[in-house]
Amino acid sequence: MACRIPARALWQSSPRLALIPRVTSQGPRWTRHYTTPAESQNRTAIVTGSARGIGKAIALRLAQDGYDICVNDIPANKSGAESVVSEIKNLGRNAFPFMADVSNLQEVENMVSASVSELGPLNTMVANAGIAQVKALLDLTEQDLKRMFEVNVYGVYNCYSTAAKQLISQSTPGKLIGCSSIVGFKPFPLLSHYSASKWAVRGLTQAFAMEMARHKITVNAYAPGIVGTAMWDLIDEELGKIDGRKKGETIKKYTDELIALGRTSVPEDVAKVVSFLSGPDSEYVTGQTLLVDGGIIFT
Ligand code: NAD
């Protein structure tokens, strides 16, 4: 006849076995920390370039997720930033506008300090601001190339590094999120220096992810496809001029020919992915660039 000894009794009976750490529901060594609803109600984020377009949708979505928001943009878009702040306050969250050019490190440092004193400790930086330009490679001036990299690459570096230093000084985990693009995976002709800058965002994101992991800071990027914003109005118009198409025809042609899901993206499509990247469900994701393009590039 088989003799069954309960596992608990066996464990308790042997002094040597008792020394081996056991998997219990309470032991800190075995328990993963997930953000509790209470914690997720008191978070702050900076969203750059959020007076309009994708950045605005991200700022509003993160506010709905429970974040208080520093709404950043350049002085030319101050009124847009102020109206985003009002919308966020109407959602019952705190927000304030901060005008800063992300390509200027000192201005980014001032923005992070202002966010901490206005909203409290920083949790998430969304380095969304970017510029585009339609121009053939051989027509680019030194200044064209320089400005593209100052905003799209130095801007992301300034935001990642300044936010990371703040998070480390707070001794808190956090999230750095950058904006790449489908052209960071496969360039579009006539958007080549823009494409190269968005490849650099992927590279920076991967490198930051490696160096920040030990500080419990995750670093990811999102890569939108063809989103109906002011940026695509410009691309549509400029590509249209070169190829002899009327306003609105280029974005329609690209949508019909390239997007598997058959519709142009809206900023809220992107904001949903950033909501995931800035929330507790992505805590085991780092160094990734997530495409949100309706099926243009397949990884
Ligand atoms: P947008 O032009 O509508 O908005 C960009 C915002 O960034 C503007 O409010 C602008 O004033 C701000 N900005 C520009 N330079 C800045 C600076 N130096 N400092 C601070 N703010 C600055 O464009 P969007 O379509 O909303 O683009 C947002 C991000 O998404 C950009 O990084 C862009 O490259 C990227 N993106 C857009 C698309 C698209 O199809 N629209 C596709 C892929 C990636």
In tens, the pLDDT along 28-50 reads 433 444 454 445 568 999 999 99
SS3 127: strand
CA distances from 6 to 10, 17, 27, 112 (A): 6, 14, 21, 57
Residue 26 has pLDDT above 60, yes or no: no
Cβ(225)–Cβ(291) below 8 Å: yes
Active site residue 160: no
Distance, CA 129 to ligand 1 centroid (Å)? 5
Instruction: Return the ligand 1 atom nearest residue 130 CA.
Output: 32
- Closest by CA position to 167, among listed 115, 97, 106, 223: 115
SS3 174: strand
H helices present in 35-97, as ranges = 37-40, 53-64, 78-90
Distance, CA 72 to ligand 1 centroid (Å)? 12
User: pLDDT, tens digit, for every residue of 117-174?
Assistant: 999 999 999 999 999 999 999 999 999 999 999 999 999 999 999 999 999 999 999 9
Residue 23 has pLDDT above 80, yes or no: no
* 182-212 b/e (C-beta count within 10 Å ≥ 16 → b): bbbbebbebbbbbbbbbbbbbebbbebbeeb
User: pLDDT, tens digit, for every residue of 285-299?
Assistant: 999 999 999 999 999
85 or 22, greater pLDDT? 85
Distance CA 25, CA 236 (A): 57
CA distances from 251 to 25, 53, 206 (A): 54, 16, 31
pLDDT of residue 38: 47
Strand pairing class (289-292; 124-127): unpaired
Mean pLDDT of 58-68: 98
Band (17; pLDDT cuts 50, 70, 90): very low
Contacts of 179 (CB under 8 A, 6+ apart): 54, 126, 127, 128, 129, 130, 156, 201, 221, 222, 224
CA-nearest residue, atom 27 of ligand 1: 54
Instruction: Return the ligand 1 atom nearest residue 102 CA.
Output: 19
From 201, 231, 292, the mutation candidate for ligand 1 (largest count of ligand atoms within 8 A of CB) is 231
Which of these is catalytic: 157, 160, 194, 222? 194
User: pLDDT, tens digit, for every residue of 237-274?
Assistant: 999 999 999 999 999 999 999 999 999 999 999 999 99
- Residues framing ligand 1 (Cβ under 6 A): 48-49, 51-55, 72-74, 77, 101-103, 128-132, 151, 155, 179, 181, 224, 226-227, 229-232
Instruction: Return the ligand 1 atom nearest residue 226 CA.
Output: 40
- CATH code reported for the domain at 37-225+267-292: 3.40.50.720
Tell me the domain boundaries of the chain: 37-225+267-292
CA distances from 50 to 69, 72, 286 (A): 10, 6, 24
pLDDT of residue 42: 83
H helices present in 69-191, as ranges = 78-90, 105-119, 142-149, 155-170
pLDDT of residue 22: 41
User: pLDDT, tens digit, for every residue of 196-226?
Assistant: 999 999 999 999 999 999 999 999 999 999 9
Strand partners, 79: none
Distance CA 201, CA 249 (A): 29
